[in-house]
Amino acid sequence: MTDGPLIVQSDKTLLLDIDHPLSTECRRAIAPFAELERSPEHIHTYRLTPLGLWNARAAGHDAEQVIDTLIEYSRYAVPHSILIDVAETMSRYGRLRLEADPVYGLILVTTDTAVLEEVIRARKIAPLLGARIDAETIAVLPSQRGAIKQSLLRLGWPAEDFAGYVDGQAHPIDLVQKDWTIRPYQELAAEGFWHGGSGVVVLPCGAGKTIVGAAAMAHAKATTLILVTNTIAARQWREELLHRTTLNEDEIGEYSGAKKEIRPVTIATYQVMTKKKNGVYAHLDLFDTHDWGLIIYDEVHLLPAPIFRFTADIQSRRRLGLTATLVREDGMEGEVFSLIGPKRYDVPWKEIESQGYIAPAECIEVRVNLTDEERLLYATAEPENRYRTCATTRTKRIVAEALVKKHAGEQILVIGQYIDQLDELSETLGVPLIKGDTPIKEREILFNKFRSGEITCLVVSKVANFSIDLPDATIAIQVSGAFGSRQEEAQRLGRILRPKSDGRTAKFYSVISRDTIDQDFAQNRQRFLAEQGYSYKIIDADDVFQGKI
Amino acid sequence: MRSFSDYLRSIDDASFLELFTARPDLITPVPPDISSLSVRACSAPSLARAIDSLNQWQFQVLEAAGTLNEPFSVKSLVALTHKAATSALEHLIAIGLVYPSNDGMRLPSQLRDLIGNEPAGLGPSSMVKLKLADLDNAPADAKKVLERLIWGPPRGSVGDIKNPGPGVAWLLERKFLVPLDQRTVILPREVGLYLRGGKTHKEMFIAAPTLSGVKRDERQVNRAAIANISTVLRWVEELLNFWAEEPADALRAGGLGVRDLKIIATHLGLEESCTAFIVELAYLASLISIDPTNRIMPSNKFDIWLMQTPSDRWQAIASAWLITSRVSGLVGRAEAKNVAALGPELDRVNATRVRALTLSILTENESLSPDSKSFNELLAWRAPVRRNSSSQEELATWTLREAEWLGITGQGAISKYGVRFLNGDELDLINSDLPKTVDHILIQSDNTAIAPGPLEHEISQQLAIMAEIESRGGATVYRFSEATIRRALDHGKTGDEIRSFLKKTSKTPMPQPLEYLITDVAKKHGKLRVGNTSSFIRCEDTSLISQIMLDKKLDILSLRRIAPEVVVCDHDATELVRLLRESGYLPAVESANGLMLMGARANRALTKPRPPRVIGEIEIPSEDSLNSAIRAIRTGEKSTNKQTRLRQVANEALGALPRSTANETMDLVNRFIIEEKSLSIGYADNNGSVTHRIIDPIRVSAGSLIARDHATGEVQSFRIPRITGVAPI
């Protein structure tokens, strides 16, 4: 019996004892093939999944290495069935390869004819194929490179894509590190991506994903299309790129609802790309107008379905996905794997926090007792209105106000889902509100005032969930959310994670109505943060009023 | 000395010992004398068992012997096979499949029936002398025909025997083929043997094929095995704890329903096949019992089992598995109908034999994890299949799988625990090798607790109430939630008890959210009260209620006042009304409602466990019992001899019909079949009157003696039970 830091469970989870002297070494060893599921304070849980194992294969690890690692660090004997399963799963990757061919364009090559026979008989795959060349090779319609990868993954025979990439139209881009330097993990992430060709980089909010994007562009030195969630994010990307790279204003274009510029580096929003005109996606040809050398997907976990469909058609271009979490509430992780690419870099939040690159944060759930009247209202509400009823109670507003008062002087964001509630809050607090219909110009003015400290408190709707850089916000108060969405919670926390000039701890309050579904949803959302290692506390609303916290 | 019983009378105790060890069915029960022993040993079922124990080479030698006319010499047998046949023959003699008589080797009667009429694919002997040398010059057409028949089966069909093709005609003419009927011809044995070059078999499988597979590191094997042992013990315990809370219902046809099996599979986080195995294990070890209301519950023995050391617990389940004839691998197989775990359809006659054989192959090949192809080849050599042939490979595969689950093997190779277990040695080292139990957990702020190793029993029991198990294995991950804390409160724990237990057990400080959760749930728990009662009294007038409560005459009702205006009573409403009326009150009855039973209870069956019996195999008796069996037979033999002599004297004096016991009858008949002599028998007709017949016995088949009756001159069959006695003339 060795005394390793790792316990391999029969349900394919790996428990890593992080207080063990070998834990760091072990983490490095298992990170390539096991997906970090949660990382609370003592024991981190990783999971062996087919995607994770295939990611490892894509990164050049073989089953032997994985098995040796498991056995080496395991505290108890590794269940035999798991060893067999790992070997079995990993052997499925790479039996099929997509390659470029001078005659046929794109071919599917196998080392195992039985597998090829199996897949070409699959109903979904047959229409994507061309002529059979020999026993081990079959032509693939070049336009179906993405579709075939998707279908093969679903069959459990993921194909390795060696068909290469087009270079795209060259365009000089370099990083300009005058008043800043790239952080080691950002550099590693960009390099990991570049060597892999295409793929996803997972970094926490506030860890500087934009810079990873810029570094990737500096590697590619080619025209780049950047897809972001909304206009504000587009403008921030533009600012960042102007600041960090050799690009000048004329080289960067914005393609959004407001402007339709196409430049060597173009930043487009998901919204405009998926806008339909007369039943067709009017702007999707943006992908084709230029010979892009690189396409960057910001917040890849939010990628809408039409973009996936289009991404399937541009498999010959390099693709970089950036995200804070691969968790998708819609379970489309497999699509991200087959269409954007395997995970190329990943580091736990806490590790970056401990290196001082993101601010430490404390999460506090404030439980509010509803008044008898509110309880009655909640109990009789229609099922579809129940969440809204309990999420927008007056009592909550009072608590939110008390919290704002308590932290007077600090930079505070009040975040909510329901506009009525936010209107009221904005009014009673005497604080400006940014919501969906706030004009972009006005939004920018308000954000700038907030950054400069001219105003210290903002009420924001879900428009501010993503990619808004508000470095000095230290307090976030969440009064309502999108039901139980875990990634929303992570994004909102991300708003206050930029490192503070004084190294202060950020505070994230969630105001929750006790004994309602609000509490259940809150639990689901917080689970994600607790699993990421953020400590959180539950307090009663009375504690806020009595100033106990 | 020509009959088998004569032979048996001639052998010494050591030979008996060997015979009975190889064929324990011969002394189960102990036969009264040697004649009975001989009859039993020559009976078809016993011979079939003995043949089943042969390996492929031994069987080939037996087949070769079957092609020879009796008596035959060792030399002729070797000529047909290989010089290694002598040692195989010794074994065949030892187990009574061939016996030496004073004129050569013989086979027990009936044995030929079992090997078949065409042993080794050779036809019957030719009736005439053949010029075999002519075969070398056979025309091409004839050669083609011979090619087809040479390795058996020796029969071929022809269009019409009257008008054969040129090849067949050539062969028929020289009697190298013999017509059987209009359309069938057969190749005589001599021709077959000649064409085969004087050997009975194309290939002699003298040596066992070597077993190939993956060599395992011994340390890793034992590590994996001990992990399997600890896992299987955990599975059994969890299964039974689950059924203690929620007993499953047995199907009407017996056994566990598919749905219940799925529920447990999900609970244990296992495949259904493995779950069925665990369920069967618990059943075999008497840990569960099916009570008269068809509920499946842990038996009292489970409590005893839990108190034992891990090695004893393991031994209890592993030994039950080793000897069972039940095959859990069959569960879920759609044969005629769905085969259920714990059901009546799992017994297979050869299960124990195949299991023992599989395990012995593993034991002979230490630190080797055999690959299945090579394993099956060896298995087929060790037990060339004739009976239940289809299932042997399957049974062996299941055995390998189950041995791994049990920890008899680790990573597919036999472990030191398996070796000791199969040898019947002490297993104490399991206790010391099992991972040390841990006495603490680590609680984390995401409301999980992790036990970084097997938990001490007491702690794991407590935790199982307070938290849901999320992940199993070397460690256990528990998750706390409102529902699990509530469950603990339902089990009578208080919030403070839960908190202090967790604080005491956890190595890490208790996270605030969990503490908050416990307090919060405890605060709300029990605000609503639910209870059982049979009847109630309610009254607007609280003073009347008080009066009733104080009324001495109503003490017997043990009334309980649950609110100022409500009293409840465990007595039936009719009874309550009667008593109230007798005491001078004027109650009226309200319409009654059905009441529900609440609360979880750990149930135990009231009935004694009835583990399934073992069928099919007969255990090899100890040397003592073998010796006593031999003594008993010898004594019986002496007295039988005396009886027979006395009866003969009496018979001769009276000139009456021959009388003999059933065993003597068979013994004599068998002997006379071999010696081809006439017999005098008494035979009862349909009306029960006994007639005296003189017959020439030919053979015994299906409970009848086939013999030529001297009176009619015809071959006739005599039902053996109707033969009242036989006597030599």
Show the DSSP H helices in A328-383 as ranges: 333-335, 349-354, 372-380
pLDDT > 80? residue A364: yes
Q: Which residue has the higher pLDDT, A368 or A348?
A: A368
Looking at the complex, does the CB of residue B304 fall below 8 Å from at least one CB of chain A? no
* pLDDT, tens only, B522-566: 988 888 888 888 888 888 888 888 888 888 888 888 888 888 888
* Overall average pLDDT of the B611-632 stretch: 78
Q: Which of residues 515-534 of A touch B (CB under 8 A)?
A: 515, 527, 530-531
Nearest CA in chain A to B507: A42
**Do the chains contact at A538 and B475, CB–CB below 8 Å?**
no
User: Residue B555: which residues within 8 A CB-CB, separation 6 or more?
Assistant: none
Count of domains observed in chain B: 5
Residue B518 lies in a domain: yes
pLDDT at A149: 85
As a whole number, mean pLDDT of residues B192-221 equals 85
B508 closest CB neighbour out of A13, A38, A42: A42
In the chain, the amino acid numbered B342 is L
Q: What integer pLDDT is reported at residue B596 of this predicted model? A: 39
DSSP B54-90: --HHHHHHHHHHHHSPSSB-HHHHHHHS-TTHHHHHH
| Beta carbons of B689 and B657 less than 8 angstroms apart | no
B426 plus B449 within the same structural domain: no
Question: B516 touching A, CB under 8 A?
Answer: yes
Residues B346 and B455 in one domain: no
Residue B594: band (very low, low, confident or very high) from pLDDT cuts 50, 70, 90? very low
pLDDT over 70 (residue B654)? no
Candidates A2, A3, A15: best to mutate against B (most CBs of B within 10 A) is A15
Task: For B525-539, give the secondary structure using H, E and C.
Answer: CCCCCCCCCCEEEEC
Q: Which residue of B has its CA nearest to A525?
A: B446
| B-chain residues near A7 (CB < 8 A) | 452, 473-475
Whether B77 contacts B70, CB under 8 Å: no
pLDDT reported for residue B282:
94
Distance, first Cα to last Cα, chain A: 47
B145-169: pLDDT as tens digits: 788 787 878 888 877 777 777 777 8
One-letter amino acid of A355: Q
* Shortest distance, CA B474 to any CA of chain A (angstroms): 6
Domain end (from B382, B407, B433): B433
Select the residue of B446, B473, B513 nearest A10 (Cβ to Cβ): B473
Is A479's pLDDT higher than 60? yes
A204-252 confidence digits (pLDDT tens) = 766 788 899 999 999 989 999 998 887 777 888 888 898 889 988 889 9
Determine, yes or no, domain membership for B611: no
Residues of A in contact with B475 (CB under 8 A): 7, 9, 15, 76
Q: Do B512 and A527 touch (CB under 8 A)?
A: no
Of A13, A41, A71, nearest to B444 by CB-CB distance is: A41
Residues B421 and B335 in one domain: yes
From the list A7, A38, A80, which residue is nearest B446 (CB)? A38
| pLDDT above 60 (res B387) | no
Residues B332 and B384 in one domain: yes
Q: Are residues B386 and B497 in the same domain?
A: no
Residue A225 is encoded by which pair of tokens? 């299309």
Question: What DSSP element (H or E) covers A426?
Answer: helix A419-429
In a domain, B327, yes or no: yes
What is the predicted pLDDT for the residue at A483?
A: 65
Q: Is the per-residue pLDDT at B595 higher than 50?
A: no
Closest partner residue to B411 among A80, A531, A535, by Cβ?
Answer: A80
Is residue B601 in some structural domain? no
The answer on pLDDT for B617 being more than 70 is no
Same domain membership, residue B404 and residue B349: yes
Given a contact cutoff of 8 angstroms between Cβ atoms, the answer to whether B598 and B532 are in contact is: yes
Give residue B599's pLDDT. Answer: 40
pLDDT band at B402 (very low <50, low <70, confident <90, very high): very high
- At B271 the pLDDT is 85
Q: How far is CA A312 from the centre of its chain?
A: 20
DSSP labels for B93-143? HHTTSSEEETTEEE--TTHHHHH-SSGGG--PPPSS---GGGGGG--HHHH
Q: Is A77–B223 a contact, with Cβ atoms under 8 angstroms apart? A: yes
The rounded Cα B10 to chain-centroid distance in angstroms is 36
On whether residue B473 sits in a domain, the answer given is yes
B491 plus B342 within the same structural domain: no
What average pLDDT does the segment B449-462 reach?
86
More confident residue, A356 or B25: B25
Cross-chain Cβ contact A43/B224 below 8 Å = no
* A11 in contact with B, Cβ within 8 Å: yes
Q: How many CB atoms lie within 10 A of CB B41?
A: 25
Catalogue the E-assigned strands of B396-447: 409-410, 413-414, 442-443
Pick the closest to residue B384 from B22, B52, B117 (CA basis): B52
Please write the tens of the pLDDT for every residue from A39-85: 788 888 888 888 888 888 877 888 889 998 998 898 888 887 788 88
Residue B206 belongs to some domain of the structure: no
**Do B243 and B316 reside in the same domain of the chain?**
yes
Give the pLDDT confidence score for residue B83 in this predicted structure: 85
Cβ contacts (< 8 Å) between A537 and chain B: which residues?
512-513, 516
Nearest to A227 by CA among A168, A284, A312: A284
Last residue in a domain, options B401, B433, B465: B433
User: Above 50 in pLDDT, residue A443?
Assistant: yes
Domain membership flag for residue B333: yes
Predicted local confidence at residue B362, as pLDDT: 92
B587 touches chain A (CB under 8 A): no
Structure tokens at B81: 């096979």
CB contact A67 to B (< 8 Å) = no
CA distance A56 to chain B (A): 24
pLDDT at site A320: 92
Lowest mean pLDDT: which of A89-103, A273-287, B365-379? A273-287
Reported confidence tier of residue B1, pLDDT bands at 50, 70, 90: low
Say if residue A476's pLDDT is above 60: yes
Domain boundary among B400, B416, B433: B433
Question: Is B474 near chain A, with CB under 8 Å?
Answer: yes
pTM exceeding 0.80? no
Q: How far apart are CA B107 and CA B117, in angstroms?
A: 14
Range of the domain at B705: 657-729
Same domain, B252 and B181: no
Mean pLDDT over residues A12-25, rounded?
Answer: 88
Q: Which among A41, A366, A520, A534 is the top mutation candidate for probing chain B, defined by the most B β-carbons within 10 Å of its own β-carbon?
A: A41
User: Quick one: average pLDDT of A417-421?
Assistant: 86
Query: Looking at the domain assignment, is residue B448 inside a domain?
Result: yes
The distance of A536 to chain B (nearest Cα, Å) reads 7
Main-chain phi, psi angles of A214, to 5 degrees? -60, -40
Q: List chain A residues with CB under 8 Å of B472.
A: 9-11
| pLDDT above 70: percentage of residues in chain A | 93
Q: Residue B716's domain is classified under what CATH number? A: 2.30.30.100
The DSSP string of B228-265 is HHHHHHHHHHHHHHHHHHSPEEBPTTSSB-HHHHHHHH
Here the ipTM equals: 0.77
Closest by Cα among A239, A227, A313 to A269? A227
Whether the per-residue pLDDT at A108 is higher than 80: the answer is: yes
* B561 shares a domain with B483: no
> Which SS3 state, helix, strand or coil, does residue A323 take?
strand
Flag whether pLDDT at B593 surpasses 60: no
Considering the domain architecture, whether residues B402 and B269 belong to the same structural domain is answered as: yes
Residue of chain B whose Cα is closest to the Cα of A39: B446
Do B255 and B387 lie in a common domain?
yes
Between the CA of residue A256 and those of A217, A261, A275, what are the distances in Å? 21, 8, 10
| Stronger pLDDT, B454 or B336, i.e. the higher one | B454
Residue B597 binned pLDDT confidence (cut-offs 50, 70, 90): very low
Mean pLDDT confidence for B272-293: 90
The position carrying tokens 């490979």 is B393
Task: Determine the residue among B471, B479, B524, B528 to mutate to test chain A binding: the one whose Cβ has the most chain A Cβ atoms within 10 Å.
Answer: B471
Statement: residue B287 has pLDDT above 90: yes
Residue B683 scores a pLDDT above 80: yes
pLDDT surpasses 80 at A549: no
Confidence of residue B319 (pLDDT cuts 50, 70, 90): very high
Which structure tokens are listed for A417?
């889902």
**Could you tell me which residues come within 8 angstroms of residue A82 by beta carbon, excluding any fewer than 6 positions away?**
A8, A10, A12, A48, A70
